[in-house]
Amino acid sequence: MSEIAKTTQCSINAVSQKLKQGLDKKLQSGGQQDAIKLLEEAYQCARPPSQLPPPWPQITAYRLAHLLMRSGCKTDWHKIDCLLEEASSGNSILGAMPLIYRLVSLQKCHAPPEKLEDVYESAVKKLNQQLPVLDKPKRDEGHLIQLNAVNLLEMAAYFIGLKYKTLEGQIELGNDFFANLGVGKSAWFVLDSQQEGSSIAYPESMARQIFTEQRGTGNCLAIEYNGDAYLPDRYIKNAFTEQQICDWYLRLKNVSLQSRRDKNKRCIVDPERTEEAERMSKKRFRDCLIKKLGLAVDQVNFDAWWKNDGSSNTVKSPIDKPVIMLINPMVFKKSPLSPIE
């Protein structure tokens, strides 16, 4: 991993931890000031000179804006509007919610009706764009934001300037869409053969949105956790078996051959995979790429990718295209064995 990539990953880890700590404080009665301090630190860490990639500047701005909206009549709505504007940037990666809450800050700042109308139309448009992305059954429980009643009560408090203290502690962390962003509980990953250290955990809806956008922007092979595959000119249902998905996952996570053997019972679907079984799995994998997907496979590159010694010179893709993958390691729990994270 390059020094820049290592620095970025360290910064992401730091921001992720501050977000998590801030959320823990946010949900405790009387912990608001501590939460604001933590989220302000996370927000500053995500911005220049670090300037982390989306969704980190957006999510920290969104979280901080939420807490600052709870100051009643002393609320600085101009600062909050700037934060919510930043939260809705980055191709609106957080969806419609920052835009919806921005209607509050704009109204409080006495914005002209045409500005409110513009943000409202953007929120509706973003909501409609998200629906096709989210039309597949959810595998996780973290796709709700929070109870509608809580949202409505929050809105009333923000608009009227009521004290928020009554609502503190009413939000369940498990039902918060963004609560586990960057930490293991989210479990969903978008792995990319072109990016080292792609191990940011997302809620499923956000991971699927990122995956869908990435597979639509380049000449790549995109693979879903269920084995479905996308190429620029076609979609192949059930292109890969569960074992092959496991093999993709381990190699995109850059788990070395020795590590795979040491942790055989955790990361290989078949714990008794002998050398002959390994040879057959490799052959079936290569045949799948060539015969089922119609891809060109260089034997030398494929052999090096399959072996994967975990070094910096490891071949990142077995084909002449980048590979991205939408995966939740928990999908393997339907088998007696589960891959390593």
Stated length of the chain: 341
Classify the C-alpha dihedral 85-86-87-89 as positive or negative.
positive
Residue percentage of the chain with pLDDT more than 90: 21
Give the residue carrying structure tokens 């701005």: 61
Query: Given pLDDT bands bounded at 50, 70 and 90, which one contains residue 183?
Result: low
The side-by-side arrangement of strands in the sheet containing 189-192 is: 189-192, 323-327, 221-224, 229-231, 234-236
Query: Given pLDDT bands bounded at 50, 70 and 90, which one contains residue 284?
Result: very high
Cβ neighbours for 272, distance < 8 A, ≥ 6 positions apart: none
Burial of 202 (0-12, 13-18, 19+ CB in 10 A): buried
pTM: 0.60
Query: Given pLDDT bands bounded at 50, 70 and 90, which one contains residue 162?
Result: low
CB 25 within 8 A of CB 32: yes
Residue percentage of the chain with pLDDT more than 70: 67
pLDDT in tens, 30-57: 577 888 888 999 999 888 887 888 888 9
DSSP state of 323: E
Which whole number is the average pLDDT over 309-327?
82
Query: Given pLDDT bands bounded at 50, 70 and 90, which one contains residue 238?
Result: very high
pLDDT in tens, 58-110: 989 999 998 898 888 889 999 999 999 999 997 778 877 888 888 889 989 99
CB 271 within 8 A of CB 264: yes
pLDDT in tens, 200-230: 677 777 788 888 888 888 789 999 988 999 9
Burial of 162 (0-12, 13-18, 19+ CB in 10 A): middle
How many CA atoms are closer than 13 Å to the CA of 108, on its beta-carbon side?
24
- Predicted pLDDT at 132: 45
CB 181 within 8 A of CB 52: no
Lowest-confidence segment of 1-10, 204-213, 328-337 by average pLDDT: 1-10
Give the N- to C-terminal CA distance of the chain in Å, as an integer: 18
- Predicted pLDDT at 29: 55
Query: Given pLDDT bands bounded at 50, 70 and 90, which one contains residue 185?
Result: low
Q: Using a CB cutoff of 8 Å and minimum separation of 24, what contacts does 109-112 make?
A: 109/77, 109/78, 109/81
